[in-house]
Amino acid sequence: MPPVPPYDLIIIGSGQAGNPLADAFHAAGKRVALIERADVGGTCVNTGCTPTKTMVASAEVASLANRAAEYGIHTAAVSADLKAVVARKQAIVDTSRHNNEKRFTQGIDLYRGTAAFTAPKAITVALNAGGTQALTADLLVIDTGLSSTTPRIPGIDTIPYLDNASIMQLDQLPAHLLILGGGYIGLEFAQMFRRFGSQVTVIQDSPRILPHEDPDITEAITQILRDDGITILLDTKATAIAATPTSLTLTCDNHQTLTATHLLVAAGRHPNTQALNLPAAGIATDPKGFIQVDDRLQTSVPGIYATGDVKGGPAFTHIAYDDYRILKANLLEGGSRTTTGRPVPYCVFIDPELGRIGLSETEAHKANIPYELAKIPMSRVARATETGQTRGFLKALVDPATHQILGAAILGAQGGEIMAMLQIAMMGRIPYPDLRDAIFAHPTYAESLNSLFTSLD
């Protein structure tokens, strides 16, 4: 295709950092090109937050309906119409994607294809429609995200296994779903499909699910999921997979053999950097392919930045969006924002939710940081008792000398919202006694903070 004049900014990937950054540069009168090889909106919109949490909501309705008798309500037998669940999910995804695509009718040039560097400030796009297009710019941002990793298990390439995207396109409920991986993605889908009516088995190759969380959290979640009817096999490694016309068989290192109808691979994710030809630009990566950046998100090449999951670190939409704010402040507004010291709140959207912020007990022990622990079961929260949501617990670490909140883990109903209240207190440096003695409306989940910090008295 004919050459085009240099752009002020080229963004590779339309994720939750790249899209708003394109808007900001366009609003500042800059010429912007955005390259996307798949659907606009990135992981969050298309295969991550939006679709999974939509389907989680359907699963929660199914669970509550199955518990109706506990509340004195009698219903007919509950069943999941997976086609309808997926259709509802897809309608919400399509709306969100359409909203993301609107920007490309307003002066931002969208190239649908795969980008590869030919020099530090030069890109060639292999267009999805055929042909190539050469592009140049003084500023480039890489926002290409992650993809599901396929484990090296003999036979896995002979079966039609599922990943986090394809499992949400099923139109029939799996009779028995095997899940390789006990991380956030695997557990959300495990509980979801169990609530839809599938038999579910989770295989985790380490002694604990969610191994980066504190042991008391992982033990509680393991028991909750087992109470829900999910089989969880710990310290178990898959060594071979074989398929039959109607099922698949997975052999484990403990000589156990499992037979199921479907397999979900949720055993990690890797950065989408293979096609970028990063060596041509001199962009440094770590051994796993993650792009290395400094605290202002600049790569080893001046003028080239990386945002979101592709640079490693916490793989969360809200972190990617903050990456956008850093680049907007520094590149357009003359600021000096960095990633240093920023909080990393996150939630695991099982039921009950896990909301996490700040220091964990494990981290405190490793760093020899003194702390006092406030901890209560959700059964002590009036609102949880009244709504029948008493599983889980709340805990927070506080500094014994300053009474500042160091971190918290809320495993319970509205766990993410309660965690956010504690995050705001940490941002405002509000000492825990102020929350202990605050007047919160009764009965709300917020009121649990009174009880949580009274446990330190």
Nearest to 146 by CA among 327, 22, 339, 288: 288
Q: 290: how many CB neighbours lie within 10 A of its CB?
A: 18
DSSP code per residue over 353-418: EEEEEE--HHHHHHHT---EEEEEEGGG-HHHHHHT---SEEEEEE-TTT--EEEEEEEETTHHHH
| Dist. CA 211–CA 79, nearest whole Å | 33
| Dist. CA 288–CA 2, nearest whole Å | 36
- Tell me whether residue 262 is one of the annotated catalytic residues: no
Q: Which amino acid is at 370?
A: P
> Strand ranges (DSSP E) for 49-191?
109-119, 122-127, 132-142, 146-148, 176-180
Calculate the alpha carbon distances from 170 to 16, 165, 245 in Å: 26, 10, 18
Which residues, in sequence order, are CB contacts of 57 under 8 Å at separation 6+? none
Element (H, E) at 423: helix 415-427
Catalytic residue among 98, 212, 365, 442: 442
Q: For residue 354, how many C-alpha atoms fall within 13 Å in the half-sphere facing its CB? A: 19
Angle at 317 between CA 315 and CA 323, to 5 degrees: 85
Residue 94: helix, strand or coil by DSSP? helix
Positive or negative: CA dihedral 437, 441, 442, 446:
negative
Angle at 12 between CA 45 and CA 117, to 5 degrees: 150
Residues tagged active-site: 442
